[in-house]
């Protein structure tokens, strides 16, 4: 598998070199389809590539073509383009079987041109196998299967909820439930600082530097896995308990470039929202993104909106009607109100009577 990664990386770099040189020297644009037509000739000239499954090689060129399409899209949009880069050793760590050439039987996986490999499934496979991606991560090997399964709608609960996210609390619901922010990265910063300092002192190219680099990578992997597990559990709970979940349509990538960048990347709102949407589709639930403007400044009782309503980070006092509440809870109620105005109107009329 290590040899296959090396060959795929070399093919990626050679294809990138060909496309770059063709444009620089002849002004010609070479497409991914053009390059795929020469795979047969490459195998004839370089016999080692006969040991790599044909669709795996095609996927390498599709991956490069996708990188160029993203580059041109960003150029057209006036964004920072980021020209596709050559992959150095250790920067190409996955191969994909996009359609065929793989199977699973019990605890044994088969891959064309590789053979049978013992594996430990994290959970039973369901539905029809579509793709398989072999990944090398921190010296360990993983395979990810994409399966086509039928949706499994959950029974209706008759409940709707608005969710306000933050860095003090991870999320606050309109039902008044506060979920603590675990701060996985912040809790690991001390250990990470020690390991990174140890890495910086090691001589480049030495075995000790490789070991120190692997230790840093494993710690980052642990933090990422902790965050992903927390997001999965939180999203699953919201989807199981509510027919509709509303949250703000935040520009997470833009917010991640501000003063609170470290805290925002640590909390990982973008990943959480993506998981929430995927789980909602599978469970037959509804997720609504609402406009985030003034949700923290508007009173959920009378609707009065001004900056002075937000007395402090956690306290909300309406300057018009005097309503007092936790600022994040008030924002969650506003989010639910924008997604389902009828729910909030009923609650308001009940409080008046």
State the pLDDT at residue 346.
41
Q: Residues of the chain with pLDDT > 70: what percent? A: 97
- For residue 77, is pLDDT > 50? yes
Residues with catalytic function: 164, 248, 328
Across the chain, mean pLDDT equals 92
State the pLDDT at residue 246.
96
- For residue 223, is pLDDT > 50? yes
* Cβ-proximal residues to 215 (8 Å cutoff; 6+ apart), any chain: 195, 198, 199
Read off the tokens for 91. 């920067």
Q: What is the mean pLDDT of residues 272-288?
A: 95
- For residue 169, is pLDDT > 90? yes
Spatial contact of 296 and 277, defined as CB atoms under 8 Å apart: no
* Cβ-proximal residues to 137 (8 Å cutoff; 6+ apart), any chain: 93, 221
Read off the tokens for 2. 């290590």
pLDDT tens per residue across span 78-125: 988 899 999 998 899 999 999 999 999 999 999 999 999 999 999 999
- For residue 288, is pLDDT > 80? yes
Q: What is the mean pLDDT of residues 27-36?
A: 92
DSSP state of 310: B
- For residue 273, is pLDDT > 50? yes
Q: What is the mean pLDDT of residues 176-188?
A: 95
What is the rounded CA–CA span in Å between residue 289 and residue 333? Answer: 14
Q: What is the mean pLDDT of residues 154-174?
A: 94
Read off the tokens for 275. 């998981």
* Cβ-proximal residues to 25 (8 Å cutoff; 6+ apart), any chain: none
pLDDT tens per residue across span 306-321: 998 888 888 999 988 8
Spatial contact of 217 and 199, defined as CB atoms under 8 Å apart: no
Q: Which residue has the tokens 């360990």?
A: 140
Spatial contact of 175 and 161, defined as CB atoms under 8 Å apart: yes
State the pLDDT at residue 6.
96
| Confidence band of 23 (pLDDT split at 50, 70, 90) | very high
Residue 192 burial by Cβ neighbours in a 10 Å radius (0-12, 13-18, 19+) = middle
State the pLDDT at residue 350.
37
228, 273, 293 from 248: Cα distances, Å? 20, 10, 9
* Cβ-proximal residues to 106 (8 Å cutoff; 6+ apart), any chain: none
State the pLDDT at residue 151.
87
pTM of the full predicted structure? Answer: 0.86
- For residue 4, is pLDDT > 70? yes
Helix axes 54-76, 2-26, angle to 10 degrees: 40
- For residue 351, is pLDDT > 60? no
Read off the tokens for 267. 């909390």
Report the SS3 class of residue 237.
helix
State the pLDDT at residue 46.
95
Comparing 161 with 353, the larger pLDDT belongs to 161
CA neighbours closer than 13 Å in the CB half-sphere of residue 13: 12
Q: Spell 26-43 as b/e; 16+ CB within 10 A means b.
A: eeeebebeebbeebeeeb
Q: What is the mean pLDDT of residues 140-156?
A: 93
State the pLDDT at residue 314.
85
State the pLDDT at residue 347.
43
Q: What is the mean pLDDT of residues 52-75?
A: 96
State the pLDDT at residue 257.
86
Q: What is the mean pLDDT of residues 39-64?
A: 95
């Amino acid at each position: 598998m290590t040899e296959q990664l090396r060959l795929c990386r070399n093919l990626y770099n050679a294809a990138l070199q060909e496309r770059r040189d063709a444009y620089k020297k002849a002004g010609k644009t070479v497409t991914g389809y053009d390059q795929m037509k020469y795979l047969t000739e490459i195998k004839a000239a370089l016999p080692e590539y006969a040991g790599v499954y044909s669709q795996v090689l095609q996927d390498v060129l599709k991956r490069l073509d996708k990188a160029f399409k993203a580059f041109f899209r960003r150029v057209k949009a006036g964004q920072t383009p980021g020209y596709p880069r050559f992959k150095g050793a250790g920067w190409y760590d996955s191969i994909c079987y996009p359609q065929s050439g793989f199977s699973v039987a019990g605890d044994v996986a088969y891959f064309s041109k590789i053979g049978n490999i013992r594996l430990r499934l994290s959970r039973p496979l369901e539905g029809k196998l579509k793709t398989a991606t072999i990944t090398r991560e921190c010296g360990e090997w993983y395979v990810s299967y994409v399966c086509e399964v039928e949706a499994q709608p959950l029974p209706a609960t008759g409940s709707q909820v608005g969710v306000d996210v933050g860095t003090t609390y991870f999320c606050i619901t309109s039902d008044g439930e506060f979920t603590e922010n675990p701060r996985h990265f912040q809790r690991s910063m001390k250990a990470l600082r020690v390991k990174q300092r140890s890495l910086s002192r090691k001589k480049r190219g030495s075995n000790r530097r490789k070991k120190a680099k692997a230790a840093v990578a494993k710690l980052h992997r642990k933090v990422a896995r902790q965050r992903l597990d927390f997001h999965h559990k939180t999203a699953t709970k919201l989807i199981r308990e509510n027919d509709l979940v509303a949250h703000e349509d935040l520009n997470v990538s833009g917010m991640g470039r501000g003063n609170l960048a470290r805290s925002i990347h640590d909390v990982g709102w973008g990943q959480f929202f993506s998981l929430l949407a995927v789980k909602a589709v599978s469970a037959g639930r509804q997720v609504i993104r609402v406009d985030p403007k003034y949700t923290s400044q508007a009173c959920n009782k009378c609707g009065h909106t001004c900056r002075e309503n937000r007395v402090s980070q956690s306290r909300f006092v309406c300057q018009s009607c005097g309503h007092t509440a936790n600022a994040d809870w008030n924002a969650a109620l506003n989010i639910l109100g924008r997604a389902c105005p009828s729910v909030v109107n009923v609650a308001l009329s009940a409080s008046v009577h």
